[in-house]
Amino acid sequence: MSASLAKCRVGFVWSPNLETFDFGTKHPIKVGRFLMVKEFLEETEFLAQPNVITIQPKLLSKSLLNRIHSQEYLKKVQRISETGEGEIDIDTPGFKGIYYNANITSGATLAGVEAVATGKVGHAVSPTGGFHHARFEGGGGFSIFNDVAASVFHLREKGFKRILIADFDVHHGNGTQTYFYSDPDVMHISFHEDPEWMYPHDGFIEDIGDGRGLGYNINMHFPMDSGDSVYTYAFDEIVPPLIESYRPEFVIFIPGFDAHYKDPLAHMTLTTEAIRYVTEQIHDAAHTWADGKLVVLAGGGYHRDSFRWGIGTVMSVVTGHEYQPPPQEPPFDDDEETWTIVRENVKRIKELVFPTLGIPGDW
């Protein structure tokens, strides 16, 4: 990492109000999740670094909420919030105060985006965010309000025209895709587990956008048990040419902590080495094309250790402060069958997307 990259000012978005939720004791999103991140970053001295500041989240404005969600859905969330009865979806139970909590946890993303857009910081990291399953008319997949869509609309109001969403959460960002499927001003790159067996069971390679947005929606999915080798291979083959072609003005990045081999909700076998590699590449790309404008959202991650290791790895890259997680040994190596599938998927993406975007090469 160059000295210039290491000196970036980084904002960490935090408030105790992020913990005002209660999905129940058996739900993967447990009370203390975001406090755990803050305490971990204190223990590892990230928050004591001279180039790191704390940013307070703010509530989303009513006008922005009305842009990203229907009136009917917003009223439904308000009713659940007042009574504590009902559910957003089968996997996303309601509770009293859910409207406020969804607003402040999504508002954390907007606070980071605003701080980067205005130059207060070069990068921002939020322990929440990446609620990419929420759609205009509803939520689900632990997502109530779509903070990624809200961020894009906010950035557009500020004059940004080419926004990259690099979503490496192990679950496809189906909600985010619906907002920008026909929009060339947003490039949405999603790396996720094969939708045949992974929620939300969509995000196929052939889904490359529509109309003026054709080619700007990229879905790379991986077979079960895929690890670091095939993952970084696919990244190198697909992502750098796309970013160089697009030249984004702002980057929103979800690292994919739930693709780690310890995560209980998925079947991938990544280690933090892959997370570090991808983060370094996205970080460098933000500096190359977007004047460093990068916001990182924690997204998923449901094992205490791998979630903290992932956060530490990302913070190390964007702040320049050294951190090394413990050694990790995934249960499987990438076998020939996995390599064959991944190579075929990469080839298919290149055949479909690269010519459409005018990226040179023989596919």
Number of H helices, E strands in the chain: 11, 10
Q: Which of 69, 123, 132, 133 is catalytic?
A: 133
Residue 89 C-alpha from the chain's centroid? 21
Q: Are 227 and 269 in contact (CB under 8 A)?
A: yes
Would you give the DSSP letter of residue 48? T
Q: Where are the beta strands (DSSP E) in 260-331?
A: 294-297
Place of tokens 């050294």: 322
Who's near 40: CB < 8 A, 6+ residues apart? 308, 311, 312
The CA distance from 299 to 303, in Å, is 13
Q: Single out the residue of 258, 319, 259, 335 nearest to residue 283, CA to CA.
A: 319
Query: Is residue 221 among the annotated active site residues?
Result: no
d(CA 39, CA 47): 9
Active site residues: 133
